[in-house]
Amino acid sequence: MPEDVIARTDLAYRTKFWAERIVDRDWPVFVIDQAGDIVAFCQMIPSRDPDDDPTRVGHITSLHVLPHLRGRGYGRILVDHVRGELAQRGFAELTLWVLKENRDARRFYEQYGFQLDGGTRPYPKTEVPEVRYRIRVPNHGQQE
């Protein structure tokens, strides 16, 4: 994310945003805790994209692992968990948006098995381009 966009981030808004999501029992924020510290988190919701059916397409709004702990499997654990949760809920696909220039994140998603689906948009309230990735959610109980 460009520095000027980060500098414009409203901390009060972001605090309220995450406080509301943390208490949502239908669409929880999953965390990985290490010695009492949250080192990674992920949230899933039904897709809000107009070209997706929110009853069959889930969406990862956020996936974050502390920078010094990346590459240790935490992201994979969280995505595996989200896919399992979506499978139990009867969803067929999972999407997420990633900054077009975020090469590390894109490499992670591609190595996991996500594929670009042609969706593009600017990150909200910016001109920073994002691309959309998609992966199938396995049927409940199905092994991949």
In this structure, what CATH number is given to the domain that contains residue 42? 3.40.630.30
The residue type at 46:
P
* Residue 29, Ramachandran bin (φ over 0: left; ψ between -120 and 50: alpha; else beta): beta
Helix, strand or coil, per DSSP, at residue 90 = coil
The residue type at 27:
W
Q: Residues 53-64: pLDDT tens digits?
A: 999 999 999 999
**Predicted structure pTM score:** 0.85
In this structure, is residue 54 part of a structural domain? yes
In this structure, is residue 143 part of a structural domain? no
> Is 99 a residue whose pLDDT tops 70?
yes
In this structure, is residue 61 part of a structural domain? yes
How many domains, the chain? 1
Q: CA-CA distance, 54 to 91, in Å (whole number)?
A: 9
Please give the residue range of the domain that contains residue 36.
3-136
Residue 7 is classified by DSSP as: H
